[in-house]
Copies of this chain bind each other. A is one copy, B any other.
Amino acid sequence: MLRFACKTLRMLQLDVHPTGRHFLQIPGPGPVPDRVLRAMSLPTIDHRGPEFGALGRKVLAGMREVFQTRHPVVIYPSSGTGAWEAALANTLSPGDAVLMYETGHFATLWQKMSLRLGLQPEFLAFEGADELLPNAPGWRRGVQADQIEARLRRDSGHAIKAVCVVHNETSTGVTSDIAAVRKAIDAARHPALLMVDSISGLASADYRHDEWGVDVTIAGSQKGLMLPPGMGFNALSPRALEAAKTARLPRSYWAWDEIVAMNHDGYWPYTPNTNLLYGLSESLDMLLGEGLPRVFARHQRWAAGVRAAVNAWGLPIQCADPSVYSPVLTGVIAPSGVDADALRRVIHERFDLSLGTGLGKLKGRMFRMGHLGDSNDLTLVAMVAGVEMGLKLAGVPLAASGVQAAMDHFAAPIPDDHRRQR
């Protein structure tokens, strides 16, 4: 019997980047901390044993802190897309009208999902024009709460059952004002549920499920939580739980009732994502140990540094409204005539740096620089440098050095409450 093997095998090597550390600067998944990766590699345990219950209770309590809620949080073995479906399927019935708002590609995908599930979405959008992106003016701005208020006021029969908006639009780099949406609904005295996708916002941008009166918040593991993909989240409100009792969309995997009941003791009705939960336990230790306000300030400071670079280059930032700049990613519109995807390819091949592509209506027109999760000043300067070198290789004329602007930003004094700490 062979006890060892020097064998010739056709194998896929999983870690075959060129030398050195890959710069994963897409707006999620972002870089996963070394501690989290190691935690995830511990042996799988019995999901019905006592050790697991302690783990389950811990991560559920920690996630409530992250969502800033006192109400139940549901964790799915799924992508964020699954958590979108869970939010709709638990609260709505076939044919229900929902009011959605087009902030970008992901808002659009969520709207398409609602169609597939048999809902009747109405898709509001920014009504102004945009010179730079005439085909997608709304993809440069946040949710316009006044449009929502106006529409709800007209819905005197309360046919609209839910308002669905995206908090941080990953395809554009715009972080909408959720409190304003809540106020709009309240101003219209409308009973619609408020459902918010904060898949790429949570744990990077400030987010307050209870204070903002959100009924269902959707999130995912691979962004601010600094984990690999594989888990979706729903944070609930009492009204959402109430709605679930009468909602008639068929659901089983996504059904909150059994999960919430079993979560009380830290268990799940079906086999949960054990090793990703190890990682979540570790990332919660890191995030809550640092303190959420510092985490948010850190991302704001990073984002400002990256925007300083884009401004120095003289390239337009995708988000046209500075009050809703995303702390998570910055979209950059490519000069006309430049194929943003060809540019990304050059940057990837020459500098081992991954950037986000332009999605949907913006294909080839823009690229996205992620500045989320387990990162730091020098990593972001390196990203800016990689993009700047790529722009030059692509022949794009630049107004000035973005790297210099980013360095000026990052070398400036840090307010005490922004300091990177863990």
Query: A261 at the A/B interface (Cβ < 8 Å)?
Result: no
Given A113-B252, A422-B18, CB of A37 within 8 Å of CB of B32 = no
* A21-B374 in contact (CB<8A): yes
Is A206 part of the binding interface, using a Cβ–Cβ cutoff of 8 Å? Answer: no
Contact flags (1/0) for A26-48 with B, using CB distance below 8 Å? 10110111110111111111111
Q: Are A382 and B393 in contact (CB under 8 A)?
A: no
Residue contact B50 to A4, C-beta cutoff 8 Å = yes
Name which of A76-84, A149-157, A211-219 contacts chain B: A76-84
In the complex, are the beta carbons of B274 and A228 less than 8 A apart?
Answer: yes
Q: How far is the CA of A392 from the CA of B253 in the complex (A)?
A: 41
On whether A43 and B32 interact (CB within 8 A), knowing A78-B82, A116-B250, A381-B382, the answer reads yes
Task: List CB contacts (< 8 Å) of A285-310 with chain B.
Answer: 285, 289-290, 298
Q: Is A349 part of the binding interface, using a Cβ–Cβ cutoff of 8 Å?
A: yes
Q: How many identical chains are in the complex? A: 4
Contact of A16 among B5, B23, B40, B385 (CB under 8 A): B5
Given A12-B281, A273-B228, A275-B228, CB of A43 within 8 Å of CB of B48: no
Q: A361 on the interface (CB 8 Å rule)?
A: no
* A49, CB-defined interface residue at 8 Å: yes
Contact across chains for A250 and B376 when beta carbons are under 8 A apart: no
Other A-B pairs beyond A3-B18, A3-B51, 19, CB < 8 Å: A3-B50, A3-B348, A4-B12, A6-B54, A11-B11, A15-B42, A18-B420, A19-B422, A20-B378, A40-B41, A45-B354, A49-B354, A78-B78, A80-B271, A81-B270, A113-B253, A230-B230, A352-B376, A401-B404
A interface list, Cβ under 8 A from B: 1-24, 26, 28-29, 31-35, 37-51, 54-55, 58, 76-82, 84-85, 94, 112-113, 116-118, 220, 222, 228-230, 249-253, 255, 269-276, 278, 281-282, 285, 289-290, 298, 348-354, 357, 374-379, 381-383, 385-386, 388-389, 392-393, 401, 403-404, 407, 410-411, 419-422
The contact sample of 19 A-B pairs, CB cut-off 8 A, is: A3-B17, A4-B55, A8-B8, A9-B11, A14-B39, A19-B422, A20-B378, A44-B228, A48-B357, A77-B77, A77-B230, A116-B252, A116-B255, A222-B271, A228-B276, A229-B272, A350-B377, A378-B383, A403-B403
Closest 3 CB pairs of A and B: A20-B376, A41-B41, A382-B382
